[in-house]
Chains A and B, each alone.
Chain A
Amino acid sequence: MIRTEELLLNVGPQHPSTHGVFRIVVKLDGEVITEATPVMGYLHRGTEKLAESLNFTQIIPYTDRMDYVSAMTNNYVLVHAVETMMGLEVPLRAEFLRLIVMELQRVASHLVWWGTYLLDIGAMSPFLYAFRDREIIINLFNELCGARLTYNYMRVGGVKWDAPPGWMDKVKDFIPYMEKKLEEYDKLVSGNEIFLARIKGVGQYDAATAIDHGLSGANLRCTGVRWDLRRDEPYSLYSRFEFDVPIGHNGDCYDRYLVRLEEIRQSLRILKQAVEQFPSDGETMGKVPRVIRPPVGETYVRIESPRGEIGCHIVSKGKAEPYRLKFRRPSFVNLQILPKLLVGETMTNLITILGGIDIVVGEVDC
């Protein structure tokens, strides 16, 4: 008689495809997963607790380090929450700059996802193509605020730096360039038979399951739910622009892939309009008290980050520091569906599904 036993396999925290220090303990029967337990917390830095002893301007750099692939949207959710609490007016030029950097960031973030996802699936070249194009955005940010990854760009009431001369023209040039490159991406990858066979029908769930698990972003839209906070609860200046919210129908990895690629196109569309309407002069900082003390009370604001709904809940006791600060991190929430999706899948599909969810471990662990 052959004695068989289940194989307990530790995927991570130092596995090349867990995108950082995420870990999943899987029980394998052959190559089929019978049980999967995500283990997180390897990158926990206690951002929320640390924030309780910092004033609001000091918290901004910490938000950069949460979702480090999309730092600008994290900056925004914090300053937006404080501004909402205090009822501050943000100058138009500053708000335009914020919106432009946020949309550029969305493109950059989806490019990172696209490249690393293809790398997970085993194609090496797309990763480098994606990073070539992301590099342009990173350079734009570098010119704007002197940092490539952790920007610390936004402030309560405005932005720290105005756009340098000629910057907006570079953004303008980037839009048609990126549109052309997207076609190239489609030619290289989107129709590839092996790629389609790998991701079509993998990690499928329906809209009800997605809503039950609190999914947001592309993970929700791939099931056919047209929910995008930029359109449904417009913040910043999004109500001024025309754009579509792409949705999928099958709720599988392939739909998530298509939704994200289409979101890049829609972001470029927003950018095109925003660059045209950009006010030629104006302040970049509104009138803000020297010490930022939100009034006593609570506020919850939410915006659409590239990964989904990112929320910021501030409880203030009228001091310069928040009494309690809580972030709703989309990566963390989206991850909750993972153990359910993995049972019955193979080891290979584990990587495909995990990559399709698009997590950033800095944000999962906060």
Chain B
Amino acid sequence: MGAWLNEPLTWGSALILFLWSTVFLLIVLGFVTYAIYYERKVIGWMQLRIGPNRVGPFGLLQTVADIFKLLIKEDTIPRRADRLLFIIAPALAFIPSFTVLAVIPYTEKLYFADLNVGLLYYVALSGITTLAMVLGGWASNNKYALLGGMRSAAQMISYEVPLVISIVGVILLSGSLNLRDIVAAQGGGWFWSWNLFPQIIGFIVFYIAAVSELNRTPFDLPEAESELVAGYHVEYSGFRFAFFMLAEYVYVYAIAALTTVLFLGGWHAPAPFLDFVPGIIWFLLKFAFIVFSLFWIRATFPRVRVDQLMSLGWKVLLPVALLNVFLTALYLELFVK
């Protein structure tokens, strides 16, 4: 894939890029389908339930059936909703979630865009989805949806900041914003050369802020079903609702991949003698573990309160992230330079 990107754009290479993107879209949709299945199974087992097991062998087609059901459902728009914004919001939520995936490198060879500001690109685009939640919440003309949308705006502002600052340490260490270079800088031997260990503070802040960005338990305030019924998507039905869900799961994919790339050494094996295993396998293993940990957290924790969320973001995560930047810079100045 990398080879194609560096060639001049011709009709031929444009076609190949288009085909690759389509394949990639299908892979991600497949991921979403089975991430939902995986989540329902994992949480089901944690909660003494069985999870889906009726549609298809072992319930493997359950999500397909669910999506099909959403497709054929009546598409309702509240009478006094702002129709234009109401229709735009789901698409606006979904498009950036997909666009951010372009910069993630899977192996040395397999990546879709070799952007030298890859990390910045990711962070900038992922913020747009929150705009869609606010829009959707506002346009629904529903009070619960409005509260959900407002919460999601406040949450995004509070957690985007520590999220970005927590990865500054990684950028300092590898000296690049390009995600491929960041992974390359973590290579060379054992797992302790991954950013996870030198950047453990950064990792913890990043992880908490990422869970919050994903709007998942314990930070699922915008859709807190026991308080706001369903939050910003309370009025959405059918495929518009599916788009919000899709965006949410694509972000799970994106954040898990990003965590793998930034902190877990991407495609690098944990030990030199394990190098014979293809890099993509290592990537997928680390990736699957991060996804699993997100589900695990969901089955364990209660939800935080909205004011506690704010104080955690501004009073704890932000100073800790700044401290991490300071320590990393100090280390680089004193020992590396």
Chain B residues closer than 8 Å to A350, beta-carbon distance: 227
Would you call A122 and B218 a contact (CB within 8 A)?
Answer: yes
- Asked if B113 is at the interface of the complex by the 8 Å CB criterion, the answer is no
- Asked if B247 is at the interface of the complex by the 8 Å CB criterion, the answer is no
- Asked if A121 is at the interface of the complex by the 8 Å CB criterion, the answer is yes
In the complex the two chains form, what is the Cα distance from A188 to B144 in whole Å? 31
- Asked if B213 is at the interface of the complex by the 8 Å CB criterion, the answer is no
Would you call A192 and B306 a contact (CB within 8 A)?
Answer: no
Would you call B147 and A347 a contact (CB within 8 A)?
Answer: yes
Binary interface profile of A, 94-123, with partner B (CB < 8 Å = 1, else 0)?
000000000000000000000000111111
Would you call B306 and A122 a contact (CB within 8 A)?
Answer: no
In the complex the two chains form, what is the Cα distance from A302 to B218 in whole Å? 42
Stretch of A194-202, A207-215, A224-232 contacting B (4+ beta carbons < 8 Å): A194-202
Would you call A192 and B305 a contact (CB within 8 A)?
Answer: no
- Asked if A7 is at the interface of the complex by the 8 Å CB criterion, the answer is yes
Given A346-B307, A348-B306, also A17-B226 (CB < 8 A): yes
In the complex the two chains form, what is the Cα distance from A121 to B144 in whole Å? 17
- Asked if A129 is at the interface of the complex by the 8 Å CB criterion, the answer is yes
- Asked if B259 is at the interface of the complex by the 8 Å CB criterion, the answer is no
- Asked if B301 is at the interface of the complex by the 8 Å CB criterion, the answer is yes
Contact of A198 among B217, B299, B300, B305 (CB under 8 A): B305
Chain B residues closer than 8 Å to A31, beta-carbon distance: 147, 306
Chain A residues closer than 8 Å to B143, beta-carbon distance: 7, 9
Chain B residues closer than 8 Å to A347, beta-carbon distance: 147, 227-228
Chain A residues closer than 8 Å to B229, beta-carbon distance: 15-16
- Asked if A175 is at the interface of the complex by the 8 Å CB criterion, the answer is no
Chain B residues closer than 8 Å to A119, beta-carbon distance: 226
In the complex the two chains form, what is the Cα distance from A159 to B218 in whole Å? 47
**Looking at B43, B298, B300, which has the most chain A CB atoms within 10 Å of its CB?**
B300
Given A7-B143, A16-B229, A128-B47, also A122-B217 (CB < 8 A): yes
**Looking at B49, B226, B301, which has the most chain A CB atoms within 10 Å of its CB?**
B226
In the complex the two chains form, what is the Cα distance from A316 to B157 in whole Å? 67
In the complex the two chains form, what is the Cα distance from A16 to B298 in whole Å? 19
In the complex the two chains form, what is the Cα distance from A197 to B43 in whole Å? 25
Would you call A194 and B301 a contact (CB within 8 A)?
Answer: yes
In the complex the two chains form, what is the Cα distance from A129 to B49 in whole Å? 10
Chain A residues closer than 8 Å to B47, beta-carbon distance: 124-125, 128-129
Distance from B9 Cβ to chain A, minimum over Cβ atoms (Å): 49
Would you call B303 and A122 a contact (CB within 8 A)?
Answer: yes
In the complex the two chains form, what is the Cα distance from A132 to B229 in whole Å? 25
Would you call A122 and B147 a contact (CB within 8 A)?
Answer: no
Chain B residues closer than 8 Å to A346, beta-carbon distance: 305-307
In the complex the two chains form, what is the Cα distance from A189 to B218 in whole Å? 14
- Asked if B274 is at the interface of the complex by the 8 Å CB criterion, the answer is no
- Asked if A349 is at the interface of the complex by the 8 Å CB criterion, the answer is yes
In the complex the two chains form, what is the Cα distance from A120 to B220 in whole Å? 13
Distance from B292 Cβ to chain A, minimum over Cβ atoms (Å): 16
In the complex the two chains form, what is the Cα distance from A120 to B304 in whole Å? 12
Binary interface profile of A, 2-19, with partner B (CB < 8 Å = 1, else 0)?
000001010000011100
Interface residues on A, range: 20 to 34
Distance from A104 Cβ to chain B, minimum over Cβ atoms (Å): 21
Would you call A125 and B226 a contact (CB within 8 A)?
Answer: no
Contact of B301 among A132, A192, A348, A349 (CB under 8 A): A192
Chain B residues closer than 8 Å to A118, beta-carbon distance: 302
Distance from B247 Cβ to chain A, minimum over Cβ atoms (Å): 21
Chain B residues closer than 8 Å to A192, beta-carbon distance: 301-302
- Asked if B6 is at the interface of the complex by the 8 Å CB criterion, the answer is no
Would you call A122 and B300 a contact (CB within 8 A)?
Answer: no
- Asked if A138 is at the interface of the complex by the 8 Å CB criterion, the answer is no
Would you call B302 and A16 a contact (CB within 8 A)?
Answer: no
Would you call B304 and A132 a contact (CB within 8 A)?
Answer: no
- Asked if B76 is at the interface of the complex by the 8 Å CB criterion, the answer is no
Distance from B23 Cβ to chain A, minimum over Cβ atoms (Å): 36
- Asked if A258 is at the interface of the complex by the 8 Å CB criterion, the answer is no
- Asked if B308 is at the interface of the complex by the 8 Å CB criterion, the answer is yes
Would you call B48 and A194 a contact (CB within 8 A)?
Answer: no
Given A31-B147, A347-B147, also A194-B225 (CB < 8 A): no
Distance from A346 Cβ to chain B, minimum over Cβ atoms (Å): 7
Distance from B302 Cβ to chain A, minimum over Cβ atoms (Å): 4
Would you call A125 and B299 a contact (CB within 8 A)?
Answer: yes
Would you call A195 and B306 a contact (CB within 8 A)?
Answer: no
Binary interface profile of A, 343-354, with partner B (CB < 8 Å = 1, else 0)?
000111111000
Chain B residues closer than 8 Å to A15, beta-carbon distance: 229
Select from chain B the residue with minimum beta-carbon distance to A32.
B307
In the complex the two chains form, what is the Cα distance from A125 to B46 in whole Å? 8
For window 131-167 of chain B, which residues contact chain A by CB distance below 8 Å? 143-144, 146-147
Distance from B206 Cβ to chain A, minimum over Cβ atoms (Å): 19
Chain B residues closer than 8 Å to A348, beta-carbon distance: 224, 227, 305-306
In the complex the two chains form, what is the Cα distance from A189 to B307 in whole Å? 21
In the complex the two chains form, what is the Cα distance from A349 to B302 in whole Å? 14
In the complex the two chains form, what is the Cα distance from A124 to B298 in whole Å? 8
In the complex the two chains form, what is the Cα distance from A358 to B82 in whole Å? 39
In the complex the two chains form, what is the Cα distance from A172 to B154 in whole Å? 53
Would you call A128 and B147 a contact (CB within 8 A)?
Answer: no
Given A7-B143, A17-B226, A121-B226, also A194-B46 (CB < 8 A): no
What are 11 contact pairs spanning A and B, CB under 8 A? A7-B146, A9-B144, A16-B229, A17-B226, A118-B302, A122-B220, A122-B226, A195-B302, A198-B304, A347-B227, A351-B226
Given pairs A9-B143, A122-B303, A198-B302, 6 additional interface contacts (CB within 8 A): A16-B229, A124-B299, A125-B300, A194-B303, A198-B304, A346-B306
6 nearest CB pairs, A to B: A122-B303, A123-B302, A128-B47, A121-B302, A17-B226, A122-B302
